[in-house]
Amino acid sequence: MKLTEKLSVFGARLGTSVKSLAKVALLGRRPGVKPSPMAADGKPLIILGNGPSLRALIDSRGEQLCRATTMALNFAANAEEFPMLRPDFYLLADPHFFEGRESDPNVRKMFERFNCLVDWPMTLYIPTSQKASELKITNRNISIERFNFIGAEGFGWLERWLYGTGLAMPRPRNVLVPALMTAMLAGFRTIYLTGADHGWLSTLGVTEENTVVNFQPHFYKDNDEEHSRVASVYSKVRLHDVLLSFYLAFRSYHRVEAYAKACGITVVNSTPGSFIDAFDRGPLPF
């Protein structure tokens, strides 16, 4: 690499490093992710992404999933199978889950099911920017821990320090990024990904009215309210914005994998046909 190219790369990394440090200084809080006793026992964690492939896994290995250590995400609590799966951990990252508590019936339903259905110990992870008291979770089986929902890039040593302290993470364009990083902060050394299809490109389209359409199926059936909400969100974006978001998401997984390997942590993608190309593929441990 020529000197001018090296200087250009150094300048770019310096700029992103300074920007990341500024974000952490302004927005960062002390994270509250505690070491998990399950991780200390050497148990692997299975992250249950909400992609359509999870349906086949539940149908074929539901009993094994119930006995495994698992983390659920987003609207999984609204699925019929939620009280059967009994996830040990649950993570919410999207601001909509907190801002839409009163306006979105699906968000209300999710918190109601937290309070009414969870009769097992479950840790709920939320961003440090959100106040736990405002969630109105009265179920004593649920303990709340908080993570910094801040994306950071820059010099490799700086990324490793920010990620390791929980002050930041690779740019979280998808909930799987905070799920993976939080799982590592909790001490898990082996993490399996399921339901991480990410086949968004196959459902992406543009209507005759130049409206971007991107139907993202889940293992459960979304109701009309959720379809309308997603359509409303996409009505305000352009195709290049969507593709950029895809790019950032898939690139972030490579940063997660690099950090995991530096820490001696194994992330296995056990999702058939997944578009994520960052992690080694392999079967679940049962």
Q: Render pLDDT for 116-162 as a digit per residue (tens, 0 to 9).
A: 999 999 999 999 999 988 899 999 999 999 999 999 999 999 999 99
For domain 29-267+277-281, which CATH number applies: 3.40.50, 1.10.287, 3.90.1480, 1.10.260? 3.90.1480
Q: Looking at residue 68, what is its pLDDT?
A: 97
pLDDT surpassing 90 at residue 269: yes
Residue 267 predicted with pLDDT over 70: yes
The mean per-residue pLDDT over the stretch 99-107 comes to: 84
The DSSP output letter for 207 is -
**What percentage of the chain exceeds 70 in pLDDT?**
99
Average pLDDT over residues 84-100: 94
Q: Quote the pLDDT of residue 277.
A: 98
Q: How many other C-beta atoms can be found within 10 angstroms of the C-beta atom of residue 248?
A: 16
pTM over 0.75: yes
**CA distances in angstroms from 15 to 18, 159, 161, 173, 179, listed in the order given:** 5, 13, 17, 21, 27
Pairwise CA distance, residues 118 & 121, whole Å:
8
For the chain, how are helix, strand and coil distributed in percent, rounded to 5? 45, 15, 40
Contact between 242 and 143 under an 8 Å Cβ cutoff? The reply is no
Closest CA to 73 of 243, 194, 166: 194
- Kindly indicate the confidence band of residue 223, based on its pLDDT and cuts at 50, 70 and 90: confident
